[in-house]
Amino acid sequence: MAVYDAIQDVTAWLGGLNDWLYTWVMILALVGTGIFLTIRTRALQLRHFVGMAKYLTQSRRGSRGGISSFQAFAMGMSTRIGIGNITGIALAMILGGPGSLFWMWIVAIVGMSTAFAEATLAQIFKFRHQDGSFRGGPASYIMDGLKSRPLAVVFACAMVFCMFVAMPMVQANTIAQVISGAHGIDPWIIGLVIAGLTSLVLFGGVRRVARATEVISPMMALFYVGVAVVIIALNITAVPQFFADVFSSAFGAREAFVGTGSAFVAALLNGTRRGLFSNEAGMGTSPNAAATATVAHPVQQGLIQAFGVFLDTILICTATGFIISTTGALDYSRVTADDAAHVTTDAITGTLGAWMAWPIAIMIFFFGFSSILGAYAYGEANLVFLKKSRPLDLASRAVLIVSSFIGSITALTFVWAVMDTAMFAVTVLNLVAIVALAPWIMALLRDYEKQIREGVDPVFQADKAELPGDIPSDIW
């Protein structure tokens, strides 16, 4: 009981802190940076939208130690598409009503420019690891672009905590809650399974498991999209009312959705939080994947990563919101935040039948499990920056495994509160770096667009790009 009370107290304290941070700092920083970059780049997310999709189909094969731009895109999407698109959307709608979806859209639209900026910077400031592959991310462009190793170290340490502690807790919690709620299996048993499988992969005992996950997770994502399309088709007449509810609730016109007079604030706060967690634009995670790609010009990977934000939030999150809203699974008079893990599952099984319970549970398991592995990859990239040692590497793996188990048996509101706090630290540091390095982004974009106007396929040449400084590597 004492432990439970302590967790409740910490949850309440973090919740209050996060409410203040996200109200007065995060929303301004996140949306403000997106608007700033949208204006500076003359809305590149609109002007170059066709090019974003084109590069996915014209991705070059990885060479010189790197991987293809599509592979880097897929790596980033493996953590984007998953728990945040299912539980995160349900949680946002429980706490903020359908209007939270509107604010997710706003965050995503302006966030596309932020995702472009951070991925482009990751490319120009990437470095070659001792194994021959490319590495990079915010820690690298903070150190080499801003010339501040102390800030880079702070970011790397915060990202290590976020990826090795907070992220695994969120993913494991959702897996446990969904499977436990649908099939009556105790969360601690599910937690042991997650921790065991994670141990096998991270400690190199079963490489086939990791390879299988890389194949199965994209298949599960396609499966979920297919399910969403079927449910939308079955409820096609409800589409107009769905969008009417979203827009009216976004500004507090439908306060009954959240049962209070602060519907606007609830929709704004929860839409922003869950939108950030879902598409990760500005958070500083996806640049770690973007840096690994081999491309002809840094801007190409920036455009591809921006397209990932569109796919994640505008398409998939909206589909989840439609499923929840139109199937009657979200009864605002009885659901609480802790019910978020199974609201989407209830909506799907209620529409397509109880037989979907296990397929959905399996899908969510692989979403969460692959995201845990992806979290390790991001955290490990920052350990490399911090000059990791063998003991530190082993300790970090052990922490991630333990966090996965703890997350599976802990209240949903607690793990999301921890995640929100961790996200705040890394996001603010990353956004500060992006704004400060805007001259680099604009120089690269001008070079890219100049070559496009000349009718040639853009190829980056550092001596012709009129950059604001020297590149601290010989990669380009």
DSSP secondary structure letters along 381-428: HHHHHTT--HHHHHHHHHHHHHHHHHHHTS-HHHHHHHHHHHHHHHHH
Span 143-153, mean pLDDT? Answer: 90
Q: What would the DSSP string read from start to end of 126-160? A: -EE-TTS-EE-SHHHHHHHHS--HHHHHHHHHHHH
Asked, for residue 470, whether it belongs to a domain, the answer is no
Span 91-109, mean pLDDT? Answer: 82
- Per-residue pLDDT, 206: 43
Which residue range is the domain that position 339 belongs to?
2-464
Sign of CA dihedral 133, 134, 139, 143: positive
**Domain CATH for 195:** 1.20.1740.10
Span 449-468, mean pLDDT? Answer: 85
- Per-residue pLDDT, 81: 66
Asked, for residue 432, whether it belongs to a domain, the answer is yes
Where would I find the H helices in 162-312?
167-183, 187-202, 207-234, 239-250, 263-279, 286-290, 298-309
- Per-residue pLDDT, 142: 93
In this prediction, residue 119 has a pLDDT band, given cuts at 50, 70 and 90, of very high
Strand partners, 67: 293
Task: State how far the Cα of 361 lies from the Cα of 356, in Å rounded to an integer.
Answer: 8
DSSP 437: T
How many domains, the chain?
Answer: 1
Measured between its terminal Cα atoms, the distance across the chain in Å is: 58
- Averaged pLDDT score across all residues of the chain: 79
Residue 39: C-alpha distances to residues 33, 119, 401 (Å): 10, 18, 43
| Phi, psi (rounded to 5 degrees) for 67 | -120, 170
Task: State how far the Cα of 368 lies from the Cα of 355, in Å rounded to an integer.
Answer: 21
- Per-residue pLDDT, 338: 65
Q: What is the pLDDT of residues 328-386, one digit of tens each?
A: 777 666 776 667 667 888 888 888 888 888 888 888 888 788 788 878 878 888 888 88
Q: What percent of the chain has pLDDT over 90?
A: 13
Q: Quick check: 351 and 231 in contact, CB under 8 A?
A: yes
Of the candidates 37, 402, 104, the one whose C-alpha atom is nearest the C-alpha of residue 246 is: 104
Asked, for residue 369, whether it belongs to a domain, the answer is yes
Asked, for residue 476, whether it belongs to a domain, the answer is no
| Phi, psi (rounded to 5 degrees) for 135 | -135, 165
324 pLDDT higher than 90:
no
Asked, for residue 473, whether it belongs to a domain, the answer is no
Q: What is the pLDDT of residues 244-302, one digit of tens each?
A: 888 877 776 554 454 444 556 666 666 766 666 667 788 888 888 888 888 889 998 89
71 pLDDT higher than 80:
no
3-state secondary structure of 461: coil
Q: Quick check: 338 and 413 in contact, CB under 8 A?
A: yes
130 pLDDT higher than 50:
yes
User: Which residues, in sequence order, are CB contacts of 16 under 8 Å at separation 6+?
Assistant: none
Span 210-238, mean pLDDT? Answer: 77
Asked, for residue 471, whether it belongs to a domain, the answer is no
Q: What is the pLDDT of residues 27-63, one digit of tens each?
A: 788 888 999 999 999 999 989 988 787 777 665 554 4
- Per-residue pLDDT, 259: 46
**Helix (H) or strand (E) run with residue 335 in it:** none
- Per-residue pLDDT, 385: 81
Cβ atoms within 10 A of the Cβ of 276, count? 27
- Per-residue pLDDT, 353: 84
Show the 3-state SS of 18-79: HHHHHHHHHHHHHHHHHHHHHHHCCCHHHHCHHHHHHHHHCCCCCCCCCECHHHHHHHHHHH
Asked, for residue 142, whether it belongs to a domain, the answer is yes
- How many Cα atoms sit within 13 Å of 119 on the Cβ side? 32
Span 204-225, mean pLDDT? Answer: 64
- Per-residue pLDDT, 118: 94
pLDDT higher at 154 or 97: 154
- Per-residue pLDDT, 352: 85
Residue 177 amino acid letter:
Q
Asked, for residue 474, whether it belongs to a domain, the answer is no
Task: State how far the Cα of 125 lies from the Cα of 137, in Å rounded to an integer.
Answer: 8
Task: State how far the Cα of 355 lies from the Cα of 216, in Å rounded to an integer.
Answer: 20
User: Which residues, in sequence order, are CB contacts of 126 under 8 Å at separation 6+?
Assistant: 134, 135, 136, 140, 291, 292, 473, 475
Q: How many angstroms from the chain centroid is the CA of residue 185?
A: 28
